[in-house]
């Protein structure tokens, strides 16, 4: 067995407490992913991992990397504490919450795509105001 495989294997060993924690975290990630309308494939691409790896995260079979926690929290427009289940998430505010998540997603896009989305949004707002 090569050292890389050994280390990868050891990284995924979990205590019973770890299993409970990562299953709960995986469930939260899956719920939030669905809330923002992303597929496992899309979220996996965002994190730079495979869809199978993402499915293992969501099922709690694999530990989520500590470097992925802030990325996920930012994408879902929540705090890392909320993502980890440490702090209670604020009550949902309906469309404003969805809009905030969309804004956070746009912030993570390349500048040229941000500009395109901004121009489209401006055009839609103008159209709605004149209707």
Instruction: Give pLDDT tens digits for 68-83.
Output: 999 999 999 888 999 9
Residue 33 sits at φ, ψ, to 5 deg, of -60, -45
| Predicted pLDDT at 42 | 94
Q: Is pTM beyond 0.75 here?
A: no
Choose which CATH entry (3.30.750.24, 1.10.8.60, 3.20.20.70, 1.10.260.40) describes domain 1-90.
Answer: 1.10.260.40
| Predicted pLDDT at 89 | 53
Residue ranges per domain, the chain?
A: 1-90, 92-131
Q: Has residue 87 got a pLDDT over 60?
A: yes
Task: Kindly report, residue by residue over 24-65, the tens digit of the pLDDT.
Answer: 999 999 999 998 899 999 999 999 999 999 999 999 989 999
Tokens of 83: 């993502």
| Predicted pLDDT at 1 | 47
Q: Are 73 and 108 in contact (CB under 8 A)?
A: no
Residues 77 and 79: their CA atoms lie apart, in Å, by 7
Query: pLDDT over 70 for what percent of the chain?
Result: 82
Residues 47 and 43: their CA atoms lie apart, in Å, by 6
The residues, any chain, with a CB within 8 Å of residue 107's CB and separated by 6 or more, are 74, 114
| Predicted pLDDT at 90 | 56
């Amino acid at each position: 067995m090569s050292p890389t495989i050994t280390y990868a294997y050891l990284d995924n060993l979990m205590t019973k407490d770890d299993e409970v924690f990562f299953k709960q975290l995986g469930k939260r990630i899956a719920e939030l992913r669905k809330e923002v309308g992303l597929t496992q494939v899309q979220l996996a691409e965002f994190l730079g991992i495979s869809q199978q790896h993402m499915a293992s995260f969501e099922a709690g079979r694999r530990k989520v990397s500590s470097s992925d926690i802030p990325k996920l929290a930012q994408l879902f427009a929540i705090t890392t504490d909320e993502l980890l289940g440490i702090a209670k998430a604020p009550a949902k505010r309906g469309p404003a919450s969805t809009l905030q998540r969309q804004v956070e997603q746009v912030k993570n896009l390349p500048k040229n795509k941000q500009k395109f989305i901004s121009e489209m949004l401006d055009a839609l707002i103008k159209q709605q105001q004149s209707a």
